[in-house]
Amino acid sequence: MRLHSGWLFLMVGMTAVLGTACRMAAPGPLAEEHTYPDATYRGGFMDEGSIQVNLQFRLEDGIVTAASFRHLVGADPRYNLETEDEPYRSVVAQYEEALNHLVGKPLTTALPDLYDPGRVVTRQVDGYSGATIRANKIISAVRDALNRGPYQY
């Protein structure tokens, strides 16, 4: 079967466009040459129509000086910031440990560490490990905050 040259040109062009779009959409490291203003930032991660992670952090000269969760929930209602029930409290503590890893470090070098949470989180929980926590939600929320810009100077 012989393809018309116009169709071939269209298919090659679409492949190039889609390939470029996929490369652009891939999350990469933060640009070290980009500087973010000294400010407080807020961002979140939503999934299936609900906010799962909402956090706030302060940047000064590119260094995270403070970070905290404003909201953290899972599919099970017992899994939230206020819980005292185990193992949920310990899993929340793993999230807090991952977020606190950013404090005192340059954001551009500390954030990529969360792609391997087993190196960052030391707290062990029965049935869970540091690699189990959803550090990608923290990464997404931080990136959301940076994309939104400063919340407060």
Whole-prediction pTM: 0.75
pLDDT of residue 85: 86
Q: What is the distance between the alpha carbons of residues 31 and 136, in angstroms, rounded to a whole number?
A: 18
The per-residue pLDDT for 31 is 56
pLDDT, residue 142, reads: 97
Domain assignment of residue 26, yes or no: no
H/E stretch holding 143: helix 135-148
Stretches where the chain sits below pLDDT 70 are 1-34, 126-133
Identify the pLDDT of residue 76.
76
* Domain with 143 in it: 39-148
- 80 within a domain of the structure (yes/no): yes
Instruction: Report the pLDDT value the prediction gives residue 87, as an integer from 0 to 100.
Output: 82
Structural domain contains residue 70: yes
Question: How high is the pLDDT of residue 127?
Answer: 63
Residue 2 lies in a domain: no
- Which CATH number covers residue 78? 3.90.1010.10
State the distance between the two ends of the chain, measured CA to CA, in whole angstroms.
64
17 within domain boundaries: no
DSSP state of 151: S
Calculate Rg over the CA atoms of the chain: 20
Residue 48 lies in a domain: yes
Q: Specify the DSSP class assigned to residue 113.
A: G
Residue 129 lies in a domain: yes
- Number of domain units in the chain: 1
